[in-house]
Structure formats: C-alpha cells, structure tokens
Amino acid sequence: MHGLLFDQGHSQLKYVNLEHHDNHVSHQTLGLSSLHLVVRRGKAFKITLLFSGGKWDPAAESLAIEVCLGNLWEVIPVWSGWSATDPLGWRAHCFPGDVLPQSVTIHLCAPVLSAVGIYSLLVCIHSSAGRQVYRAGHFVLLCNPWLKDDPVYMPLDVHKEEYVKSDFGIIYTGTHLNICKRPWSFGQYEPGVLEACLNLLQLSPQHLRDQQTDYVRRANPIYLSRVLCAMVNCNDDRGVLEGKWNGSYRGGTGPTDWAGSADILIQWATSNFSPVRYGQCWVFASVLCTVMRALGIPSRVVTVFDAAHDTNGNLIIEETYTTRGRKCERLGLSRDSIWNFHVWVECWMRRPDLGAEFDGWQVVDPTPQERSAGVFCCGPCPVLAVQRGLLRLPYDTSFVFASIDADVVRLILRRGLVLGRTVDTDLVGQLVCTKSVGSDNPENLTQAYKGRRKSPSMTVQQQLQQVGTFNRQRQPPAADPQHLPLGGLPGCTGAAPTLEVSLAVEKVPSMGEAVRLRVTVANRSARRRVLRQHLNAQLKEYDGDARQPFWQSHGQLQIMPGEVLRLKHAIAPSDYESVLTCEDIVNLAVVIKDVSTRERVLAAEEFNIEAPRISIEVQGGDGVRVRTERAVHVAFTNTLTQVLCKAELAVEGSGLLQGKCRSSAVLLQPGQVLERKVSIMAASAGTKLLMATVSHSNGHCVIARTFHRVHVTEDA
C-alpha cells in the first residue's frame, strides 16, 4: 500500500507490505478476510516498509507506529531487539536481519488485553528535517485462544480446531428418544462474514451510547459475549434476527429452511442492517456461535432436551390437560412451557469476576425469552454455577438452572377445577449434548449441568431453600398447583394413587409405518375396577404450544385387584401422513378414569417420526476444489402409503449454488421416485452444505429434508 506523505523529510516511504499471507498463517486467521489483515492480540505480526531513494538510516531517523481505534490512539516507538519495552503495552521491534538497504521489517504486537475491532495503522518517520506520517492501512484484532495470558486461552489444540477454526457443526433437535442431526455451516470464512460480525459491535447500543467506553471494554470477553448475545436478536436494537415461533413465515425464510450462518449475516449486512426473518432457538444460537468463533472466542452449540422456560422463577412448570387427554392452554396459571429442545451457546473464557473455579464453559443464550438487566440476552453463566445451584452468581444463573432442573406438574382440568395431578421431577433437562470433538456424534454434557441432583423426596420448596433465592427480577409466581381446588370429587383427596399408569412408544416410528403405543395400567387396590381409557395425539410446536388433535382412542376396560394390564394401540399411517411434516413433534397423552371413584391418572409422552430418505450423490466424491464444476444427483422415493399431490424436490447450497433449484410439481405415487440433477461450483474453500427438501401440496407440507456435506479445498 502506498503511504500518504504529510511532511517532507529525508527518507521517503514508498510501500507498506502488511504481509497478509504470512501473518494469517502465523495467527491462525487464514481465510477470515480478503479485505483486511487479521491478527490476534498478544502475538507479534510483521509489516515491511520499502523506502525509495537512499536507504533508511536508523542512526539519523527513528521509526514509530501509530495505531488507533476510534478516538483511542497509541504511539509505539520501534526498538531494536526486545529490550526497553512495556510487556503489558504495545510493542514494535526490528532486528538486524530485518533491516536491509531499502527495507525494514517491523514486528508489532498488541497487548493481550487489547480491544477487539478494526484498527487504523500509521507509520511515522522522525528526523532532524521533520516528521513524515504515512497511512499504512487497517488491521483487525481478535482474541487469541492460542495465547496462555488471553482470557479465552484454550490449552488443547484439538479443542481449538473444533471450537474456533471449524466452520461446520451439528445441531441436535427432535426429542431425547429420537435425536435428529441438523448439520450447520457456521461460515466464518465466507466473504463478508467477519466484517458483518464487527459491524455488530459498531451498531450495538453500548457503542452508540459511549464509543470510547465501549472500545475500552471490548478487551473483556465477558462484555463482548453480552453485547453480541443481545445483538443476534433484534428485540432491543438493530440486531440480526427476528424470531417467530408459529404462524406463516411469509415475508421471510422459515427457521427450518436455514442451513448456515453466512447467508443470514450477509443478508443483514447488505440490507442496511434490517433484521432477517425468521429465527428460532437453533438459528439464534448457531449465528452467535459463528460470531464468537470469528472474533476468536471458543464456542459450541449445546442442545437441552425437554428444557423448561420458567417465567416466574418458582422451578415449577405447569401443563394442563382435558379429561380426555388433550393438552390445552394453560388457562392463565402461568406462561411457563417445556420446549422439546432448546439450543444455546457455550463460550470458553476465564471469569476473574467470580474466581478461577468458574473459568471454562459459560452459557450464552441469544434467543429472546426473558430480559437480563433490561435487555434480551442471557449469560455468560458458568456451567459450574448451574451444576452447584449457585443462583446468585452472574449472569442469569437462576434462569439457566430452571431450564435444566425444574419440576413438571401436569393437571387434569374441567371447568377450571383440578381433577387430577401428577409431578415429574426427572423430565426437564434429562439430556444435554453438543457435537463431539472430531465427530458428528453427540457428547453428553448432562452431568456437567446436573452433577448435583435433587433427591426424589425433596420438594420444590425445599430445593429453593437449599439453593437460595433467585436473583432475577420476575413476575409474581402463579398460583401453586398444590393449592388449587380439586373440586371435591372422590379420588382427589391427595392420598397415594391406587392406579399407576405409564405410556410409551414401542420404537422410533418411520414415516409410512404405524406408530405402536403401549399403555401400562396397574391396579394397586384390593378391588375389581371398571376404567375408561382416553388416548389423544396432537401436534405441538417444539417450544410447547399444542395444536388440534389428529388421533384419538377411547374405550372401557376392567382390571382385577393387583393386576397389571399392558394395552397396545397403533396410529395408522393414514391417520398422520396428511398432517405431519418431517420436523413435527407429537404430544401423546392417556387419561385413565375409575368409573366408580372418578379417580383420574394421566401419563404423557412425546415423539417424532423418522422422515423418508433423500439421497445426494456428488459425482467424483464429496471433496471438490474451488472453481471446479461438479454434477450432483438428488433422488427421493415415496415410501408413504398415500399419493403426494404436487410433490416438489428443491436443492440449495450456500457457496455452491446460486439460488434454489426446484423440480416441477408432480403427482408422486407410493414407491415412485422423484429426482433432479444440479451442477455445483464453489468460489471459496471450506465446508459447504447442500440441502434437499421434498414438499407436497404446493409446498405447504415438508415431508423430508436432508443435508450433505461438501469439502472444498484450494487449487493444488
């Protein structure tokens, strides 16, 4: 880069070489930006100065480097060797081998606690004749998990490869009984992504309110994580994503249609920072993981199955059912819910504000659920604090704790009266997992969160007394279900139940197969009983909202004293194929009623169905080179029992295809094949994803979706 001369002097600077490639290799930042030099704090990077005319004379002229971030300026004299410098400040050095007749190589090092951002770089030459100042360009400074003194230091190289450098991940969704793998392209190496991440900091309310304070505080990963967490959602600011959990997604992209972060961040940056529509928890979390990795903070995406959204802080989640087993509105008892899965991010950092024992993984959750200090963000919350139940520790430990350790109280209601009540102390947070290092298989993190397990006999009130009072500002608790009226009906006195009921899906069902259920009823009384059985299956959103039932079964049976009945049922494919999509979750419930005593017992289970398979085959294998065209064959066989009307196969892939390639809508008979051939070509290296979707009825029902990983490498 040619410098800009302000004052005349003896030596003239002709060219500044920021040594992009060598610095990027040395700083583990290769591919993050084609626009800027990207380096990490606490590690020296080199710049070479080329002079015109006579050589630079260190005896007669001195060199200095000026760096600036906003209104923060630093002048760094260039020293020979490493002596006479402040180990905690900026350092600039040159060595004998770096000084040639017409060039000088300078090694510049930012303090380990420097702020993340884009810095301006100037070169100053001082001599008896005056002072020359040259604008040498810009560089981006990131956190440095390779450096022991950095608060985000991560000791193991395999962990840095997985949690900083990897641009590919697996998001686990579905239910804990049938975990679905959703590949995700974090895309931090895609053009423009790093710049979009830096714009998040520039557009944050903290920066707009007080630029200088914001720049100073950006050295702290705790501060960075809270700012960026809030900026991933748009609820309080000009953030990236707008959330939507039900209804139509017209005017945007449905959350399940996203396969990577790059498209989202680039769309946000190129639309004058308008919010991208739409996101749900795994989309919010995956985008935040991309931002954190791009800025040098080790991060991973974590799924909590059966996660509680506890709005009132009482560690109780109320669910209500009708007398026929239909899950229904909560009738004003609370706004609590159980999400089949909830996805957040763990970031790796030290916690000097809490003490070294709380260093390590911290929960940071960008899904806008509850406010923290008046803003929709959550964390960073130490995972160890959740495990120990230390609810007063910052940030938002009480909310995270409830997500994995609340009790579920299920009520059978009729006309506002409670006719039955069950408590499940084990459902919430029974599985927490993330992608394993170097593998697509899940790593079980449950014990990291729940090593301190409550005893089965411990009540919620006793547990609250044990762990202390919540430190978040919350709404007054809803009425305790234990104190709601039971309606004065026989069999609802609060005594130990004499009927025991359980419900299970016999195996993970596949689309096109019958769903086989088993209800087990045990009579613990000394008399013969006549029972009514009500079974109900209904779709539900993954965040807890139930829809209309699509299947019901009712009947009467007799059970002898001490007898255990095992009742089998089946939901035929014709009962669900027209209503279920490949992402749907089914809430199944059974209510057993004693005709004589009116005692009612409820059992519930949830399941998802395996979708039909879509095959994707890349000609010549899944490893491709940049700017090389490859053919891809995509095929789907209709394994359902019904005809698919207006069936359509769509293929898309960020960085591989321009737009979405769709087949013509057809009438697809059972056993018939729908296929399409596309041609892919990548402009940049990295892990790319092809996504194929089969829908029918004019795209209203997605019957299958699959992802295929493609590894793109540079030319040899």
Concatenated DSSP letters for 226-253? HHHHHHHB-SSSS-SEEE--SS--TTS-
pLDDT at residue 357 greater than cutoff 60: yes
Q: Of 247, 294, 253, whose CA–CA distance to 275 is shortest? A: 253
Specify whether 143 is catalytic.
no
281 classed as catalytic: yes
CA dist., res. 257 & res. 264, Å (int): 11
pLDDT of residue 119: 98
pLDDT of residue 470: 32
pLDDT of residue 478: 37
pLDDT of residue 468: 39
Cβ(5)–Cβ(161) under 8 Å? no
Checking if the pLDDT of 715 tops 80, the result is no
Range picked from 119-133, 349-363, 404-418 for highest mean pLDDT: 349-363
Region 259-263 average pLDDT: 95
The structural domains of the chain, with segments of one domain joined by +, span 12-142, 157-467, 488-608, 614-713
User: Exposed, middle or buried by CB within 10 Å (0-12, 13-18, 19+), for 86?
Assistant: exposed
pLDDT band at 54 (very low <50, low <70, confident <90, very high): low
- Number of alpha helices (DSSP H) and beta strands (DSSP E) in the chain: 13, 40
CB 590 within 8 Å of CB 657 = no
CA separation for the pair 74, 68 (Å, rounded): 6
Of 60-64, 321-325, 634-638, minimum mean pLDDT range:
60-64
User: How far apart are alpha carbons 478 and 459 in whole angstroms?
Assistant: 17
How far is 423 from 409, CA to CA, in rounded Å? 5
Considering the domain delimited by 488-608, tell me its CATH architecture.
Sandwich (2.60)
Q: Which CATH superfamily is domain 614-713 in?
A: Immunoglobulins (2.60.40.10)
**What average pLDDT score do residues 224-229 get?**
98
Catalytic residue selected from 93, 342, 534, 708: 342
Question: What is the per-residue pLDDT for 668?
Answer: 95
Q: How much is the mean pLDDT over the chain? A: 89
What's residue 331's pLDDT?
53
Domain 157-467 identical in fold to domain 488-608: no
Q: How sure is the predictor about 58, in pLDDT bands with cuts at 50, 70 and 90?
A: confident
Distance CA 278, CA 243 (A): 5
Could you tell me which residue, 649 or 683, shows the higher pLDDT?
Answer: 649
Q: What is the arithmetic mean of pLDDT over 107-126?
A: 96
- Examine the pLDDT at 704 and tell me if it is beyond 90: yes
d(CA 135, CA 479): 66
Q: Which one of the listed residues 281, 289, 347, 661 is annotated catalytic?
A: 281
* pLDDT band at 452; cut points 50, 70, 90: low
Annotated active-site residue 7? The verdict is no
Considering only residues 284 and 541, tell me which one the structure prediction assigns the higher pLDDT.
Answer: 284
Nearest-angstrom CA–CA distance, 558 and 528? 7
pLDDT at residue 484 greater than cutoff 70: no
What are the respective helix, strand and coil percentages of the chain, to the nearest 5?
A: 15, 40, 40
Specify the higher pLDDT residue, 623 or 13: 623
β-strand pairing of 431-435 with 299-309: antiparallel
The β-bridge partners of 630 are 680
Which of 365, 396, 584, 594 is labelled catalytic?
365
Which CATH code fits 157-467?
Answer: 3.90.260.10
Of 429 and 101, the structure prediction assigns the larger pLDDT to: 429
CATH class of the domain comprising 12-142: mainly beta
pLDDT of residue 334: 64
| Model confidence at 677: pLDDT above 60 | yes
The DSSP call for residue 618 is E
